[in-house]
Structure 1
């Protein structure tokens, strides 16, 4: 009887605690905006908000930057409120220092790399119809943000709002990284002992079994970045069965995946270490490892499910983000959201210290220029993906050749090739421009092409030429064969099969270009633009 009473009391305490932790709804405020055709948004995450049958496309990015559009072309940005301005009454975070106080005790404000300022990076926003407010109603916009003080000491936090434009209210810090078992410092005098995170609370509540010695090295005084991730760059995704997941990570121990409780927005931590059926790590706190490790470059992960192919696609960006850093997107796919993810060669991106990560992943694009582009792209990366009805879009930022560190939001339309891989059209999307099919007799001719290869490099890629002949031969700087069926096109060059699409793409108000985009079974991508 006494034991039953204890169980009942404990259950009531947990229910009361959960109820008291719920957030009350609050007033929101619409943005005051101004037009901006080319917003400067780094690490853009796209989300669609549909009300009364009208879709509004929102972009959220690093350093509290955001924009919205009705057509993915004509953008509006908040007036005088993008960036670290008005931080005591910010349009996203409200009283930022007060609302994010718990996160900032660990990282992201006036500390180490964020000394005298803020480091709030790479958010992701989605609508969650299951989130429970204190009054019992459901449905909230969830804003996951990154706060960072060093290359390993970071945290991912959660804000919620009844309206996508906010402001948002703090709902917890969900993942920490860069901690140690013993007292230590990292970039400042702040003690980075794990006891200063929520991990002891998770252990005491039974959500974690105990501290994992794999998280640290050097007698517990250093965070083990060969194994454990840097907790930044969150991206949320619903799987086809209705479960919610968060993928995250940057360099360090790799990219990890955690299931999220849809009622709270907080992770369902695995609790115990284990492995997947194919032998990958499942960490009790960080979740399922799906890519990376041993501080190989790879960040900005994003997973999207395409119902037509029935695959989950994992995007990761390699290299450094500066204009000379060679930033470039890679893509993998899996039949299950938890992996294993593979590239066109069937390789899984799980690295050892001796591995070269350039050998893994289809390279989506590198530093390139084709006739008709306003500027040559450099370091395009950290993307999200929009699947909108029957159209697909790659959303990313890019810098430019000979323009310093200037960057802008870019959106390119994607098509699916007949092998189930996305291919990106070479020219920027514009809702006012047309995309037309190409007749077989229009294909023949000379093209400027860029083979994006597989290397990570800060150099511009060379633009070459090839000719598609009427007899199905390829000549010029490449030799091989080609064939077209419907909108699909295939090349065979040097024993490599390339599969892609060909269209007549409008690139400005007066010009069209016949373009192709193909992915090879060697993980390379080829863009082509017909000379005219």
Structure 2
């Protein structure tokens, strides 16, 4: 997250984190900002949990109805069910990030956590296995840190363990938005250098004789997410705006990153001695919320990020990249590696998943949809999970959209949200396809305007007429469909999906990704 930090009130101290049951209420809609999804099996059934900023969380058995342990998004912070007394239990994190300081005047900012089960985590008593809760604490757009806490149950409570990445530091005594000294000796870097874990202080991290943090090169240490690669190796991807997003391998026994120690390169990517491998970004181009999913079927890694600013007029939008390796390089449909130069525009990079849109049967537009996570369910279904704002204000809600792999091995997001367990993916015959469609091209810009709704006709002779022209073709005995529109080739999916009306009417829909990084959607009238 970059703008609109929600401030967490200070709390009274207590000696330990007391267990507190999730006393939940059921809600058809839930507001969890920056939702990160995971799942567990309970009594033979997959149960989904989302964790988000502001210490919010929820769970669901069907990804439609949610059980929430709060009535408003920000309540019960003095003895939170996840982290207990944050003033006491996260004091090490806030010694650097600050409390009641700078951009978090009046409280704290706790952002974008991620929870993962690590079977190899080693407790002090010798026990193995823990749910690990990684979070970011911040007071300015650069002075932040990432820490983690552990629990033997997914619902917690979680016990703070360590702070593992810092940002916003300087090489000499200096300040940033307050009277707080940002000298690196006030972080764990002093110990990492003195013990030889990493090489000496890097000149790349600072500017102006060491008085200023180099935000063109170095990241804002927020938005951590973790994943396992094909060899069951654990990784953490993180970062936001500033110098971009980086990745570090994680020691499973301790939860601590394995810092590279020295600077190097990996297939053309910068490997920083402390921050790790730089995957995307730089020069303060917008970008946050990195999330990586490995798909066993395609043997590929998929990196999601969000561009723009999160408020409803900020043009927030999700982008997608793909790699054969967990630590990159990641590329888009143009085979571009998204490590920016000082003259780049981020909108040139990444498959744009969706922009601001509204079909005719929707009573309000989705705006600034982003900071997503994604999951492949136990039955193999891809789901995209994100928060979105709407026309008319800054309120936000979680949405879940099914994704399906297109013929080129890219997960392609369907136009409507997932609305119940009957998910229609039956084959659509050529005769059923023919007809008039509402059509949206999501483009590649970060434009905050609602995208225009067009009309196209898919004709029996495989031509496309109307507001755009081209050709279409469907692969027999499958849901794969391809388009050529104005010399751009798109590969996608055409299925029957339930719309978002009260009646949940079944509609023929298509979604396709173009070799120009654009996504197109169609809904048959």
TM-score where L is the length of structure 2 = 0.94
- Check whether the contact 1:108–1:119 (CA below 8 A) recurs between aligned residues: no
Match of 1:498 among 477, 490, 497: 490
The structure with more radius of gyration: 1
Tell whether 2:115 aligns with 1:125. yes
The offset of 1:280, in angstroms, is 1.2
Bigger mean CA deviation after superposition, 109-118 or 327-336: 109-118
Contact 1:396–1:411 (CA<8 Å) still a contact in 2? yes
- Between the aligned partners of 2:453 and 2:249, the Cα distance in structure 1 is 44
> Does the CA contact (< 8 Å) of 2:19 and 2:81 recur in 1?
no
Matched length: 504
Uncovered stretches (5+) of structure 1, i.e. residues with no partner: 1-24
Q: Structure 1 residues 141 and 444 mapped into 2: Cα distance closer, same or farther (>3 Å)?
A: same
**Other-structure match for 1:44:** 35
Partner of 2:64: 73
Q: Which residue is equivalent to 1:35?
A: 26
Q: Is the 8 A contact 2:333 2:517 kept in 1?
A: yes
In the TM superposition, what is the alpha-carbon distance from 1:87 to its structure 2 partner? 2.9
Q: How far apart in 2 are the matches of 1:189 and 1:342?
A: 42
Of 485-494 and 361-370, more deviation after overlay is shown by: 485-494
Residues of 2 paired with 1:243 and 1:319: CA distance? 32
Report SS of the residue matched to 2:336. coil
- Aligned residue among 458, 463, 472 for 1:468: 458
Note closer, same or farther for the CA distance 1:108–1:410 as it changes in structure 2 (3 Å cut): farther
Structure 2 residue 58 is the aligned partner of structure 1 residue 64: no
User: Is 1:266 paired with 2:256?
Assistant: yes
2:203 & 2:464 partners in 1: Cα distance? 57
Task: Measure the CA separation in 2 of the matches of 1:291 and 1:314.
Answer: 10
Alignment-derived partner of residue 215 in structure 1: 205
SS of 2:432 mapped into structure 1? helix
Deviation at residue 55 of structure 1 after TM alignment: 1.6
Q: 1:417 and 1:206, CA in 2 relative to 1: closer, same or farther beyond 3 A?
A: same
Displacement of 1:81: 7.3
Q: CA deviation at 1:524?
A: 0.2
What is residue 156 of structure 1 aligned with on the other side?
146
- After superposition, the Cα gap between the structure-2 partners of 1:94 and 1:510, relative to the gap in structure 1 and judged at 3 Å, is closer
Q: Which residue of 2 aligns with 1:16?
A: none
Partner Cα distance (1:253, 1:513) in 2: 43
> 2: CA distance between counterparts of 1:37 and 1:362?
30
Who is 2:275 aligned against?
Answer: 286
Give 1:20-419 correspondences, 5 Å limit: 28-80=19-71, 82-83=73-74, 85-276=75-266, 278-388=267-377, 389-401=379-391, 403-419=392-408
In 1, distance between residues paired with 2:98 and 2:25? 29
- Residue 429 of structure 1 is matched in structure 2 by 418
Cα displacement (A) at 1:216: 0.3
Residues 43 and 122, structure 1, Cα contact 8 Å, conserved in 2: yes
Say if 2:32 and 2:73, in contact at 8 Å, map to a contact too: no
Whether the 8 Å CA contact 1:26–1:162 is kept in 2: the answer is no
State the alpha-carbon separation in 1 of the partners of residues 219 and 50 from structure 2: 26
Cross-structure match for 1:19: none
Instruction: Find 2:519's aligned residue among 500, 504, 525.
Output: 525
Q: Any gaps of 5 or more consecutive residues in structure 2?
A: 1-15
- Match in the other structure for 1:10: none
C-alpha contact (below 8 Å) 1:48/1:57 kept by paired residues = yes
Q: Residue 446 of structure 1 contacts residue 467 of structure 1 at CA under 8 Å; is this kept in 2? A: yes
- Cα distance in 2 for partners of 1:51, 1:263 equals 25
Residue of structure 1 in register with 2:8 after alignment: none
Alpha-carbon distance between aligned partners in 2 of 1:352 and 1:79, rounded to the nearest angstrom:
44
Q: Per-residue CA shift, 1:235-261, capped at 9, x if unaligned? A: 101000111000001010011000000
SS at match of 2:88: helix
